[in-house]
Amino acid sequence: SLSMLFLSWAILYFSLVSVRACSTLCLNVAIKGRPEPEVQWSKEGGPLSERAQTEVTGSSTLLMIENVNRNDTGKYVLTVSNCKGSKSAFINVRVLDTPSAPTNLQVKDVRRDSVFISWEAPLIDGGAVISHYAVEKREEARKVFTSVCSNCTRNLYKIDNLQEGCFYYFRVLAVNEFGSGQAAETVEPVKVSEVPLPPGKITQSDVTSDSVQLSWEKPDHDGGSKITCYIVEMQAKGHDKWRTCSESKTLETVINGLTKGMEYFFRVSAVNEKGRSEPKLLLTPVTVKDTSAQPVIDLLSTTFSVKAGNDLRIDVPFKGAPQPTVVWKKDGNILKETCRVNVCTSVMSSQIIIKDATKIDVGLYQITVTNSAGTASAEIHVNVFEKPGQPCDFTVEEVSADFVALIWQPPQYSGGCQISNYVVEKRDTGSAIWQTVSATVARTSIKISRLTQGTEYYFRVAAENRYGRSPFVESEPVVAQYPFKVPSAPTNISVVSASKSVIVITWNPASSDGGSPILGYHIECKDQSSILWTKLNRGLVTENRFKVTSIEEGLIYEFRVYAENIYGEGETLESDPIKAADPFTIPSAPTDVEVTSTTSDAMTICWKRPVSDGGSRISGYIIEKRDKQGIRWLRVNKKPVYDLRVKASGLHEGCEYEFRVFAENAAGISEPSIPCPLTMAEDPKFLPSPPGKLPKAYLMLFYHF
C-alpha cells in the first residue's frame, strides 16, 4: 500500500517554490509504495515544457527544467499510482521574471485626435507585484514605437494629440520589480477619426407634383474619415416614424414618389467609416405641389473681352424649376475642362473661369439650360486682346533688277483688335543685320526699290496692333534681277543672194523671247579659215534680214545671228559656208556637132565648147542619139564626159543616126545643141591608089565604071 503520511508531508513541504529566471528548477520528491508505483508529472492548465526532464528511482522522483522563464510559472502536479490506488500532490512554482503581456487590449472611444485603450493584467506577473504599465504608439508608416506614458497605474489610458486621419498601432507593457514585460499590441492599425458632424444647411430647390430636390452643405468636420454617403430620411406630417428615402454620395438628391398635396419633413445624416452622424433637420415642411418653370437666362452682355495673360470669369445667371442642367459648348463642340478652363455651376448661375487667357480661348461659347419644362440657350463671344499672329501667304509678286514687289494677307488672328500697320525689313545674304524698309505700311503690299542688281535678299514682314508686334514671316531668298531669261536662238538662217560684193542673209525669229520682247538681232561673220568672228551691225537689227557688203571676192564666209532682249543676248545660229562670187547660170549649148568616123556599129562624134559656161566651170557633157525613124532621144553615155568627143557604139548597120550634145555646170544642164546631119552606120569605103610602073610583059587592063 502507499504511504499516505509521506505524501502529505511532501505536499506541505513543497507547496510553493520560487526560482529566478534563467536558473534551473529542481523538484525532488520522495515516494514509497508496494508494488513500486508509476510516476507522472504534469502542469495544470498546459503541457510540460519541452525543456522539462524527469527521473524516477525506487524512493524518489525528480523534475528538472533548465533556463526557466515566466512561462514556467504554474502549478505542477505529481501523480503516483499502483495496483492499490493513486495519490496526487501539487507544487506551486513561481519564476521570478518580468511579466507576460497584458491581456484583452482594446481600443475604445476613437476620436478625431485621441483614443481610449484598456487592458487586463498579465496572466503571469513574473513572481512580483505589477507596479505600473508603459503605453506606447507607432504611426503605420513608421517602424519604431514612441512612449506615450511610462507610469500608468490603471488599466485604462487616453492617448491625446494624435494626427487626425492617420493610422496608429498601440501597445502596453506591464512592469514589475524585474523590469518591463512582454508587450500587448493592437493587431490592426487604428484610424484616428470619429463619426462626422451633422451636415450643414439643407435647402429645397425644386418641388414638383411628386418629387422634391434637396441639397445640403458638407459637415463642418468629417470626423477625420472620408464621408462615404449621406442618408436622407423623411416623415409625413402627422406620422411619428422616420423612413429612409435616399442615400447619396453627393450633396444633393431628388426624392420621387411623393403624394401631391401632402407635407413632409426631411433630415440628412452624414456617414463615414466610424458611423453615422446626428441628423440635420429641414426646419420647414415641404408641401408637394407643381412649381415647374421653363429656364430663363438673364445675361447682361453677350461679348466678353480680356487681355492675354489675365483671368476671365463669365457669370451666367439663370432660373427655372425643377433645377435645370447646364451644358457648355465652344465653337459647336462640348467644352472640355482643363487646369485652365473650369465650369462652376450652382443653383442660380453657371460660371466659366479661364485662367491666363490666350488666343486659343477666343471663340463662340454657348450655354444651354434644360429642365422638364423646357430649354433656354445663349451665345457668348469671347475675345482675347494680344499681339496679332503672323501675316499669311507672304509671296514675292514681282522681281526686277532694282526692285521687288511683295504681297501678303492679313493674319488669321488679329489679336482681338484692328491691325494698325505692317513692318517690312530686308537683308542681303552677306549680312546678318536686318534693315527696316518701312514700319508704317498700311496696305498688304509694298514695292521695295533701290536694290543692287544680282544681289540676293531676304525679306520679312510683321503685323502690329495696339498690343504689340507679331512674329515675322520670312521670304525665300530673292535675287534682284530681271524676271526673264535671254531669248533662244533664231531659226532657219539662209543666204537668199550672193555675189562677189554683196551677200544677203535672212532668218526666222527666235522660238522664245525669254519672257521679254526681243529688242533686235546681232549678225557676225568670219572667213571659213579663221576662228575670229567679226560683228557686222553697229546697232540692233530689228528686221529678220541683213545685207553684207564688207566682203572679198572669192572668199568663203560663215554667218551667225543671235537675238537680244532686256535681259541679255541669246544663243547663236550659224549659217552654211557661202562663197563671195557672182551668181552663175546654165551654160549655152555646145556647137558644131559632127560625126567624124563611122563603122557598121559605131560612130565618133565631136563638138565644140559652149560659147558661155554660165559663170561656172563646165563639169561634163551629155550626148543623145536618135535614128532616122525614131521619135525619142536616147542617151549615149551613162556618165558625163569631159572631152569634146565621144564614141557611140551599139549601132545597127545600115541605119542612119543623128546626135546632139548638152553641156553641164554647177547651175545645171544647158539646152541641147543643133543635131548633126544623119549619118549611116557602115564601114568606111576607100578609093584605090594609082597603079605603079609595070613591066612590059604585063597586060594593062582598064575598067570603066
With CA atoms as reference, report the closest residue to 373 among 203, 207, 204. Answer: 207
Residue 689 confidence class, pLDDT cut points 50, 70, 90: low
pLDDT at 202 over 50: yes
**Per-residue model confidence (pLDDT) at position 2:** 36
pLDDT per residue over 117-170, tens digit each?
999 999 888 888 899 999 999 998 888 999 989 999 999 999 988 888 888 999
Residue 46 confidence class, pLDDT cut points 50, 70, 90: confident
Q: Cα(first)–Cα(last) distance of the chain, in Å?
A: 223
- Residue with the larger pLDDT of the pair 667 and 622: 622
pLDDT at 483 over 90: no
Give mean pLDDT, residues 367-372. 90
Give mean pLDDT, residues 283-310. 87
What is the rounded distance in angstroms from the CA atom of residue 172 to the CA atom of residue 161?
18
Residue 687 confidence class, pLDDT cut points 50, 70, 90: low
Range of lowest pLDDT (3-12, 194-203, 531-540): 3-12
**Which amino acid is located at 456 in the chain?**
E
pLDDT per residue over 431-449, tens digit each?
999 999 999 999 999 999 9
- pLDDT > 70: what percent of the chain? 95
Count Cβ atoms below 10 Å from residue 629 Cβ, excluding itself.
7
**Per-residue model confidence (pLDDT) at position 701:** 44
pLDDT per residue over 500-521, tens digit each?
888 899 999 988 887 788 899 9
**Domains along the chain with CATH numbers:** 4-96 (2.60.40.10), 103-191 (2.60.40.10), 202-287 (2.60.40.10), 293-385 (2.60.40.10), 392-479 (2.60.40.10), 491-579 (2.60.40.10), 591-680 (2.60.40.10)
pLDDT per residue over 220-234, tens digit each?
888 888 889 999 999
**Per-residue model confidence (pLDDT) at position 704:** 41
Based on DSSP, count helices (H) and strands (E) in the chain, helices before strands.
1, 58
Peptide bond into 322 cis (omega under 30): yes
pLDDT at 3 over 70: no
Range of lowest pLDDT (196-200, 477-481, 491-495, 686-690): 686-690
- CA distances 434 to 106, 430, 439, Å, are 84, 11, 13
Residue 105 confidence class, pLDDT cut points 50, 70, 90: very high
Residue 6 confidence class, pLDDT cut points 50, 70, 90: very low
Please write down the HEC assignment for all residues of 379-414: EEEEEEECCCCCCEEEEEEEECCCCEEEEEECCCCC
Peptide bond into 35 cis (omega under 30): yes
**Per-residue model confidence (pLDDT) at position 38:** 86
pLDDT per residue over 621-652, tens digit each?
999 999 988 889 999 988 889 899 999 998 89
